């Protein structure tokens, strides 16, 4: 049966005076050269400006001779090179390129290929609207190509770097006979190397990706180029922000925190607007975190069921991990925290931040995945204290889930065991929070992850 309301995490019978009294019954708990397309290295060879009459309101056409070239680190034989005419008041233009294809062009931004190595002359001639003509030439140096791609061995099937496992690096698709190498490995040991095939180890995860770069040099002509690639370190992440929509439900670093719900089980209302805020000073070097204000004796459920646009999509039977950072200003031991992992995709799931309904807008976000309404299933649940799940089953205490005044990361493993589905389309974390104090307290959350554990 699909509920059209909020799933209950606890059923509250009474408000406990302390955590040692009877706790509410728990009912339910997811190769090349790099192109920098900015206009730099502008060389102006003459400036013709028409004076404006300060007493006149009439616009006067300005005239200016200027050009730039795409900021490739160096020009290579057989590789496209882009030039841009930045002149003002142009009637016609003509470019000429020594030993290049094409040899001439009238385009404002031509792309050409030089056919041989050496110093080549480029000429730009401008015919202005006022009848004046200006022509300038400049020299560039063209080298034989130097390029490659980074390759890595011992990666997971998803292409991730395993922790505490040596990874061998090298180059593939090499062109141009490099003679020396300068590697850098973000977060790795060693952090740099001049070996053509270095071996590197990581001890800390980086779900955003570690940047690996190699600067190649060819001794006979001084040609250099840098190739780079990014590799995820650790388990493969299943939760992602949507940067193009300024939408980050997991690290809270962008303008929108996504579609969270903070359900007050006493009033049966969503208290997200009144009881949460984004604060500076997140965990593990992040800029921001989510603050949740908890009234004493009230059970709150915090979850992202309606955040289906970027909740996790899992495969039944596979092993995953959930992790997050938390802290609190509550007195030590006075805050109950339960964490659960759910999958549930109702057709009526509405994301108010993006103004989209799951059943109507699913294909916009997942064109290759058919929409399927999925009833609620739970894959894991953990409590920071011993907790009676049912009359016959009691959750053991997980001390690592007990929050403190300092940021602490919490991590649990689970298997996505489903009796109904092979593809789990909307898996998300859910928290239950209950303060046994006498005044409002704050609980802080940051950097939530659900990651695939590749065996």
Give the β-pairing of 394-395 and 387-388: antiparallel
Q: How many Å apart are CA 443 and CA 327, to the nearest integer?
A: 6
Report which of residues 68 and 452 the model is more confident about.
452
**Residue 1 pLDDT exceeds 70:** no
3-state secondary structure (DSSP) of residue 254: coil
Sign of CA dihedral 320, 325, 330, 332: positive
Quick check: pTM over 0.85?
Answer: no
**142-148-149-151 Cα dihedral, nearest 10 degrees:** -160
Confidence grade of residue 8 (pLDDT, cut at 50, 70, 90): very low
Strands 133-143 and 75-76: parallel
Tokens of 373: 């309404």
| pLDDT over threshold 80, residue 156 | yes
CB 10 within 8 A of CB 24: yes
Return the CA Rg of the chain.
30
Instruction: Output the pLDDT for position 222.
Output: 87
Query: What sign results for the dihedral spanned by CA atoms 349, 351, 355, 361?
Result: negative
pLDDT score at 120: 94
pLDDT at 206 > cutoff 50: yes
Does the pLDDT value for residue 405 go beyond 90?
yes
pLDDT score of 72: 54
Q: Does residue 164 carry a pLDDT above 80?
A: yes
Which pLDDT value is given to residue 427?
98
Within 8 A by CB and 6+ apart from 338, the residues are 9, 10, 26, 29, 381, 382, 383, 384, 387, 395, 431, 432, 433
The angle formed by the CA atoms of residues 195, 78 and 135, to the nearest 5 degrees, is 120
State the average pLDDT over residues 16-29. Answer: 37
Burial classification of residue 330, based on how many CB atoms lie within 10 Å of its CB (0-12 exposed, 13-18 middle, 19 or more buried): buried
Model confidence band, residue 37 (pLDDT cutoffs 50, 70, 90): very low
Angle at 99 between CA 93 and CA 103, to 5 degrees: 30
Q: In Å, what is the CA distance from 74 to each residue of 33, 142, 181, 221, 407?
A: 9, 7, 18, 12, 47
Is the pLDDT score of 337 beyond 90? yes
Residues 286-328 have pLDDT tens digits of 999 999 999 999 999 999 999 999 999 999 999 999 999 999 9
pLDDT above 70 (res 163): yes
What pLDDT score does 73 carry? 56
Q: pLDDT at position 71, please?
A: 58
Terminal Cα distance for the chain, rounded = 35
Positive or negative: CA dihedral 382, 385, 389, 394: positive
Binned at pLDDT 50, 70 and 90, residue 28 comes out as very low
Establish whether the linkage from the previous residue to 105 is cis, with ω within 30° of 0: no
CB 195 within 8 A of CB 181: yes
Residue that has been written with the tokens 């955590």 in this structure:
19
Mean pLDDT, residues 387-395: 85
In this prediction, residue 83 carries a pLDDT of: 93
pLDDT in tens, 345-374: 999 999 988 999 999 999 999 999 999 999
Query: Which residues does 96 contact at the CB level (< 8 Å), separation at least 6?
Result: 103, 104, 122, 123, 125
Confidence of residue 6 (pLDDT cuts 50, 70, 90): very low
DSSP per-residue letters across 283-314: GGG-SEEEEEEE-TT--EEEE-TT-TTTSEEE
For 45, residues 6+ apart whose C-beta sits below 8 A from its C-beta are: 65, 66, 134, 136, 138
Q: For residues 413 and 409, what is the distance between their CA atoms, to the nearest angstrom?
A: 14
Beta bridge partners of 101: 113
Range with lowest mean pLDDT among 72-81, 155-164, 348-357, 373-382: 72-81
Distance CA 443, CA 364 (A): 35
The model's pLDDT over 45-68, given as tens digits with 9 standing for 90+, comes to: 333 333 334 445 678 889 999 988
- Residue 59 has what pLDDT? 83
pLDDT number for residue 172: 96
Q: What value does the mean pLDDT of the chain take?
A: 87
Of 106, 122, 123, the residue nearest 114 (C-alpha): 122
Mean pLDDT of 205-211: 93
Query: Which of the four pLDDT bands, split at 50, 70 and 90, describes residue 16?
Result: very low
What local confidence, expressed as pLDDT, does residue 17 receive? Answer: 40
pLDDT in tens, 243-285: 999 999 999 999 999 999 999 999 999 999 999 999 999 998 8
**How many percent of the chain have pLDDT more than 70?**
87
Higher-pLDDT residue of 74 and 146 is: 146
């Amino acid at each position: 049966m699909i509920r059209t309301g909020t799933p209950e995490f606890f059923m509250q019978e009474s408000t406990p005076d302390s955590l040692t009294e009877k706790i509410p019954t728990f009912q339910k708990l997811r190769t090349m050269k790099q192109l920098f397309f900015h206009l730099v290295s502008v060389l102006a060879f003459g400036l013709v400006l028409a004076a404006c009459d300060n007493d006149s309101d009439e616009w006067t056409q300005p005239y200016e001779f200027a050009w730039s070239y795409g900021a490739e680190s160096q020009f290579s034989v057989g590789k496209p090179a882009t030039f841009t005419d930045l002149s003002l008041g142009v009637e016609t233009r003509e470019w000429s390129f020594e030993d290049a294809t094409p040899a001439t062009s009238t385009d404002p931004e031509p792309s050409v290929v030089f056919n041989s190595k050496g110093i080549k002359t480029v000429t730009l001639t401008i015919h202005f609207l006022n009848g004046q003509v200006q022509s300038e030439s400049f020299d560039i140096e063209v080298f034989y190509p130097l390029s490659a791609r980074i390759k890595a061995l011992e990666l997971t099937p998803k292409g991730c770097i395993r922790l505490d496992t040596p990874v061998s690096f090298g180059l593939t698709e090499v062109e141009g006979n490099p003679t020396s190498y300068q590697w850098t490995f973000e977060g790795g040991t060693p952090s740099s190397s001049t070996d053509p095939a270095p071996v590197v180890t990581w001890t800390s995860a980086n779900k955003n990706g570690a940047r690996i770069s190699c600067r190649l040099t060819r001794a006979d002509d001084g040609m250099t180029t840098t190739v780079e690639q990014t590799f995820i370190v650790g388990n493969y992440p299943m939760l992602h922000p949507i940067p193009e929509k300024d939408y980050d439900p997991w690290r809270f670093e962008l303008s929108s925190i996504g579609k969270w719900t903070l359900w007050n089980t006493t009033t049966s209302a969503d208290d997200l607007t009144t009881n949460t805020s984004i604060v500076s000073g997140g965990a593990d070097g992040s800029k921001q975190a989510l603050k949740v204000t908890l009234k004493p004796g009230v059970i709150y459920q915090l979850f992202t069921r309606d955040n289906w646009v970027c909740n996790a999509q899992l495969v039944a039977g596979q092993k995953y991990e959930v992790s997050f950072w938390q802290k609190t200003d509550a007195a030590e031991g006075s805050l109950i925290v339960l964490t659960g992992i759910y999958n549930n995709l109702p057709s009526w799931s509405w994301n108010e931040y993006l103004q989209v309904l799951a059943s109507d807008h699913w294909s916009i976000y997942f064109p290759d995945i058919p929409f399927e309404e999925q009833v609620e299933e739970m894959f894991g649940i953990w409590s920071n204290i011993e907790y009676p799940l049912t009359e016959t089953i009691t959750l053991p205490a997980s001390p690592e889930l007990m929050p403190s005044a300092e940021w602490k990361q919490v991590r649990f493993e689970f298997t996505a065991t489903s009796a109904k589905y092979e593809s789990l389309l909307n898996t998300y974390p859910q928290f239950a929070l209950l303060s046994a104090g006498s005044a409002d307290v704050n609980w802080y959350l940051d950097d939530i992850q659900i990651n695939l554990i590749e065996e």
